[in-house]
Amino acid sequence: ASSGPSTEPPDPASIFADLSPAELRAVRAFLMARPELGLSPSRGGPLAKNSLFLAELLPPEKRSALRFLERGGARPRREARVVLFFGAQAEPNVTELAVGPLPRPRSYRALPLAGGRAVPFWARPMTRREYELLHEALAAALAPLEPLLREATGGFGFQNCSGRCLTFSDVAPRGLGPGERRSWLVIQRFVEGFFLHPAGLEVLLEHRDPDPRRWAVRRLWYNGRYFGSVRELAESHARGALPLARLPEPPARRLFSSYEPRGRFPGGGRAEAHGAKVCEPRGRRYRLRGNRLEYGGWSLAFRLRSSAGLQLFDVRFGGQRLAYELSVQEAIAFYGGHSPAAMQTKYMDAGWAMGASSYELASGVDCPETAAFLDAHHLLDADGPVRFPRALCVFELPTGVPLRRHFDSDFQGGFHFYAGLEGRALVLRTTSTVYNYDYIWDFLLYPNGVLETKVHATGYIHATFYTPEGRRYGSRVHSHLLGNVHTHLVHYKVDLDVAGSGNSFETMDIRFENISNPWSAGARVVQPRLHREPRRREREAALPLDRPVPRYLLFSNPRRRNRWGHRRTLRLQLSSHAGPVLPRGCREERGVTWARYHLAVTRRHENEPSSSSIYSQNNPWDPPVTFESFIRDNETIEDQDLVAWVTVGFLHVPHAEDIPNTATPGNAVGFFLRPFNFFNEDPSVASRAPVIVRPLDPPACSRLQIRRWAPASPGPCVPPEPFSYNGTYRPV
């Protein structure tokens, strides 16, 4: 596709754009045609095959990207990162390749994983094919339990079950140590919201061997008791020795796990009507061009990578870069419980294709009706690119609170002036529905140069069968249902570039000083003073989860100052209730060493692009990427290109109100990136949206001057009266 002279050159942001369907097809076609790779289609066939699992953009090296963006250098070579499953090799493994150049790939090279070790085949993520085989193997193995299951569940089963089927949820990790691939499966009735309908049976299925004929049930748990085999459980039931947990018939309407309305608010007369909405009387004020988003002073490039989701690049405000990269790295949920599936569950969602689970957003529900929606394309566990319509949305949100305001009273019933600036933010959103849970990923851009990152948790809780011992690990949330305690943690990479790439990091809080009072002899003054701690090495800059965080986390350029002589600085401000998921160094904790720290600051290295990987889930004991190794060398971090790695999260003890779904109020965590002496004043003074009201005849205030720099009336979607104001407060 040679471009004629009249074609506009592509936006520079496009170097960070996800691969187009045509590019994904080209990558796949190129690889499928390489005889030495011996690739088969992903669909069907045996597990012991070679196949393409994932293709996505391999972002350019930062050096060449900056050379292109800043100094008009050559466009960086565009490449794909692909993940190949080599199941048909003598030594089955997973290999990552870089493929390029796009759009017409000619060659590939190995992408070294950390330590240069190959990823063992048993550590690969699950595929649709493996689930198909798992389902078949499970249904076959449980055939002897069909009488038990039908009796206990009101006729639900695996065999010939149309309308009354059982299904399962699998948990991970899939074993107790390296090399294992045996999963606990929770058997559920397949009704709307089946996550909340465990039947009381959990099954440990061994599926390590690529040949499913060698798979087998190794153990079972039913209603609080363990069994060594299907036969043992079936016989116990046949003997009448098994206490059966009989589930009530699920009602045809208003099932507790569904969204169907039920009950009434007392006096909620108007609850049926539509409520408040977002509208845009003058249209959109942001610009979307390909993968570049512009709003007020903001500009950024974005992509939705299939592996780990949203990734921003080249984030600028007022033309100045604040961050080179801001991206989601991982989301985990570690559980506790009494049943084996519950105690085994330590979800690491990058391994569940978190980024590719970007299903359609509903206009008016998931994003306001005014939002712009964007599709995404993923090639993951599929034989071609798949379009995910409306995977992202962008909208301007009226925050409901002024950005800033002041009323200047004259303390005589009048005022000197009133001034205010409406509060708005641009929201860039996607969701990841990782099986039961729905994460809502937001980046918010405020007109004053503040960026907020937020993740909300909603969707179904991961719940298990209720037994009385389960109450130590959560709440009983329905007759046969336990909501298990768990910790959600999310990891972000923030490659801040504060007025350039040479940055330093310090923390700041207050200390009290006790000095002699300079205006009253003999008296003392006790008062707060700023206490700054420069953090000069990576170890000093890793702030552990179990200790309080200093309240100011400051990244500055030691060689650039604002007009008032302060180092130009960005502040990171956490909104989080994160706590440890496991004791340090203990078992699966080694797969999530990033989760040891609220914040860790490292010197940036091109070969430390991510803190986690899609392989941690199935090999947390010895994963290819270990964040701890980024800081083990304890490099100096003064005046260096730094990366801030941020962990946020919360403890979730499910409760009855999590039924049918966890709700978002109170279940959001994230962080702010705030200018802190980065500018010379609040950059939102450039906004034309403020209102200033001044009395022309103080102190009477009977005639007012209303100053606006925007039209008096915003337009037809609000009452058409122009802005009005009075400001006095008078005796009556």
**What residues line the site for Ca ion (CB under 5 A)?**
495, 497, 602, 633, 635, 641-642
Q: Does 416 sit near its own copies (CB under 8 A)?
A: yes
State the Cα–Cα distance between residues 647 and 598, nearest whole angstrom.
5
C-beta of 238 vs 653, nearer to Cu ion: 653
Distances (CA, A) of 538 to 246, 254, 600, 663: 56, 55, 7, 38
Q: Tell me how far, at minimum, the Cβ of 625 lies from Cu ion, in Å.
A: 25
Q: Does 684 sit near its own copies (CB under 8 A)?
A: yes
Binding track over 472-511 against its own copies, x by CB under 8 A: xxxxxxxx-----xxx--------------------xxx-
Of 70-78, 105-113, 242-250, 454-462, the segment contacting its own copies by CB under 8 A is 454-462
* Interaction partner, residue 47 (Cu ion, Ca ion, its own copies, none; CB < 5-8 Å by kind): none
State the Cα–Cα distance between residues 320 and 70, nearest whole angstrom.
11
* Interaction partner, residue 280 (Cu ion, its own copies, Ca ion, none; CB < 5-8 Å by kind): its own copies
Cβ-based neighbours of 423, under 8 Å, separated by 6 or more: 398, 399, 400, 401, 402, 403
Q: Tell me how far, at minimum, the Cβ of 109 lies from its own copies, in Å.
A: 28
Which among 479, 486, 391 is positioned nearest to 432, based on CA atoms? 391
Binding track over 628-657 against its own copies, x by CB under 8 A: ----------------------xx-x-xxx
Q: Does 256 sit near its own copies (CB under 8 A)?
A: yes
Please say whether the beta carbons of 18 and 56 come within 8 A.
yes
Q: Tell me how far, at minimum, the Cβ of 151 lies from Cu ion, in Å.
A: 33
Count the residues in the chain: 732
Which of 107, 159, 412, 629: binder of its own copies (CB under 8 A)?
Answer: 412
Given the residues 347, 418, 437, 597, the one annotated as active site: 437
Which of 40, 89, 229, 458: binder of its own copies (CB under 8 A)?
Answer: 458
Q: Tell me how far, at minimum, the Cβ of 49 lies from its own copies, in Å.
A: 20
Please say whether the beta carbons of 555 and 569 come within 8 A.
yes
Of 9-17, 104-112, 205-213, 709-717, the segment contacting its own copies by CB under 8 A is 709-717
Given the residues 349, 438, 442, 658, the one annotated as active site: 349
State the Cα–Cα distance between residues 273 and 424, nearest whole angstrom.
26
Binding track over 641-680 against Cu ion, x by CB under 5 A: -----------x----------------------------
The encoded tokens of residue 493 equal: 């990479």
Q: Tell me how far, at minimum, the Cβ of 485 lies from Ca ion, in Å.
A: 28
SS3 443: strand
* Interaction partner, residue 431 (Cu ion, its own copies, Ca ion, none; CB < 5-8 Å by kind): its own copies
Q: In this structure, how many other beta carbons lie within 10 angstroms of the beta carbon of residue 88? A: 16
β-strand partners of 204: 184, 219
Please say whether the beta carbons of 684 and 421 come within 8 A.
yes
Q: Does 274 sit near its own copies (CB under 8 A)?
A: yes
CA 413 distance to own-chain centroid: 51
How many residues bind to Cu ion according to rule CB under 5 A? 1
SS3 689: coil
Q: Tell me how far, at minimum, the Cβ of 509 lies from Ca ion, in Å.
A: 24
Q: For residues 300-339, which are near its own copies according to CB under 8 A?
A: 318-319, 334-337
Q: Does 237 sit near Cu ion (CB under 5 A)?
A: no
Backbone angles phi, psi at 551, to 5 degrees: -80, -15
SS3 256: coil
DSSP 312-368: EEEEEETTEEEEEEEEEEEEEEEE--SSHHHHH-EEEGGGGTGGG--PPPPBTTTB-
* Interaction partner, residue 577 (Cu ion, Ca ion, its own copies, none; CB < 5-8 Å by kind): its own copies
Q: For residues 149-178, which are near its own copies according to CB under 8 A?
A: 176
Q: Does 272 sit near its own copies (CB under 8 A)?
A: yes
Which of 33, 252, 273, 521: binder of its own copies (CB under 8 A)?
Answer: 273
Distances (CA, A) of 68 to 5, 11, 312: 21, 12, 17
State the Cα–Cα distance between residues 112 and 96, nearest whole angstrom.
7
**Residue 349 among the catalytic residues:** yes
Q: Tell me how far, at minimum, the Cβ of 632 lies from Ca ion, in Å.
A: 7
Q: Tell me how far, at minimum, the Cβ of 489 lies from Cu ion, in Å.
A: 11
Binding track over 75-104 against Cu ion, x by CB under 5 A: ------------------------------
Of 156-164, 232-240, 561-569, 612-620, the segment contacting its own copies by CB under 8 A is 561-569
Which of 7, 162, 520, 607: binder of its own copies (CB under 8 A)?
Answer: 520
Cβ-based neighbours of 168, under 8 Å, separated by 6 or more: 135, 138, 185, 186, 187, 188, 203
The encoded tokens of residue 112 equal: 């070294």
**Residue 546 among the catalytic residues:** no
Question: Closest-CB residue for Cu ion?
Answer: 652
Residue 175 amino acid letter: G
Q: Which residues are catalytic?
A: 349, 437
